[in-house]
Chains A and B, each alone.
Chain A
Amino acid sequence: MADTLPTLLLAEHDDVSLNPVTARALTAALALGAPVHVLVAGENARAAAEAAAKLDGVAEVLLADSPALAHRLAEPVAALAVALASGYGALVAPSTATGKSVMPRIAALLDAMQVSDVIAVVAPDIFDRPIYAGNAIQRVRATDATRVLTIRTASFAAAGEGNAAPIRALDAAAPTSGASFVSEEIAASARPDLSAARIIVSGGRALGSAENFHAIVEPLADALGAAVGASRAAVDAGYAPNDWQVGQTGKVVAPDLYVALGISGAIQHLAGMKDSKVIVAINKDEDAPIFQVADYGLVGDLFEIVPALQAEIAKAKA
């Protein structure tokens, strides 16, 4: 089945900059074999549209700029995408909090069944996706007229940047909906973003307190130039913020190096990190399941090992 209609990719961005997961989702969108248009929806989002226009393989960027699209609430973004949908064979977005919220809304309005968390494009209508926390992979054929896909970006390499695609402004008037924005608390961090980081250091329940998490996990991450992750137990206990959770129901990551500190390795956690290239586990229980996926395991007390490890890294980098 060759695609005749182009593919519409919804960009992940914050108006000012383009989130790197967009370039990864683009690789999946291009694999469908049709020209790819990128939709940048937001308020004062031209900078993000200009960044999207640089991505290799993008045929056109559609910029929908309107106060009604501020914060990209699901209702107006879905209405916009549905209004554009008849010109497209597939609608694609990265599996981010925004993508997960808006894409099923679009799918239902198009009477299409979404394929969530695509990890491989086998054919333009055939996709692989994980089920049961990644313990099984399902291969599905989408039979609806319009395919609606969310992409697990850890499974795709980022498209390059050397393009200068045209940017077309859309009339972005959106109907009013019953949802309105109240407030947002977004932590500013100098560290790399979890979903795009090359190295991740994660801490678990063993850290015991927010102070320890801050004093042990974060300095090691900084020494490695890494992003910080956490297990659900660490997040639930308040040691780390919710958006650091790695796992089936948190973020799915696949960095070059993943360091798990005091994390047991429950299937729900493994679901989020087992595709990392190299996994290191430090745990005082030699039978902890995390060792079954770790390339390098160190059995012992993390409170002793981590400072020693930091000293060794400093030596190695000197």
Chain B
Amino acid sequence: MSARGALRVLGGATVALFVALAFTPLTNLLYRAYVPPATPPEPAAAIVVLGAGVDNGVLTDSSLRRAFGGVALFRQGLAPLLVMLGPGGAGRSEAEVRVRLALDLGVPAGALLPDPRGRTTRDEARVSWEDLAPRGARRILLVTASEHMPRAAALFRRAGFEVVPAAVDDEPGGTSRPQARLDLARNLLRELLARAYNRVAGYL
């Protein structure tokens, strides 16, 4: 096959993949295959909210959703301690911004533990262990995006925690909006690549 022919086949495959991911339920099926169904949250010793990004002191949508998820679990009385993670860029760290938000939402300062040291999910598992193991808090409610949960839970279990997943959805798995489906597909692809990288590096 000529180079032009190969490019046409690749172009056709790209268009077909785009149409399938955006305009058919394929992405929803892939989501259901990869993400385990949500279970009701159970009491734990601490709630750990994973980082998702801050831009010049403003939390990203995903970060805000996770922070609210953590606060909601705390307000339900499911754990006495709320750990807010997330590194800093320019300005305040994500963890600090989230703690400010949690205080505004009525969480007492004594129940909040910010830690901006973790820059990757594996890092976050390590620093959480350093923060919580001395307090005897091994059973945690882990708050992150549903697509991220399988990898995050595995890394936290490997660090020594007993993990109770408490996922929040960045995009609903049953969405029928084309853009949301494409975002979901991108998140799933990113997770599959990250999982492969973690396996190759021996972290999982």
Partners in one complex: no
Task: Give the A-binding residues of B (Cβ under 8 A).
Answer: none
